[in-house]
Amino acid sequence: MRIAPTNWDTLFSNASGVHITEYKLVINDITYYSENMQSRPIITKPLLGEPAIGRVCSATMTVAIRPIENTTIPKAARVLAYCRLTSQDGSITTDWKLIGKFNISSRSGTKILTLKCRDDMIKA
């Protein structure tokens, strides 16, 4: 069972429904915040659409990032994806919540890297 971080319910169920979802990725022990991302991470779980007994749901994440200077992202690097909610004025934030553990399966580009990642379930 997952437990929501502090202030999550306050921001998520806000009457106005206004909050900002922020993302960060930790790739090879280096943290990439939204200013390093060209797009939001897109996580898909295609087999989750039709639940069935014994079905395993493997997730895929696609994200475009600008690598931090003087760093390299190795092939098949570990990627930890986190998110948090922030109020519109920035006065209230939640803790970072881990939303997935992935490994890079393919990459393309040079200045902007498009990473396609698969979660650990693919190893099973």
What are 29-81's pLDDT values in tens digits? Answer: 999 998 999 888 888 877 666 667 776 778 889 999 998 888 888 888 999 99
Nearest CA to 65 among 29, 100, 32? 32
Q: What is the predicted pLDDT for the residue at 2? A: 64
What pTM, to 2 d.p., does this model score?
0.81
* Whether pLDDT at 21 is above 70: yes
Name the band, by pLDDT with cuts 50, 70 and 90, for residue 16. Answer: low
Quick one: 108 exposed, middle or buried, by C-beta within 10 A (0-12, 13-18, 19+)?
exposed
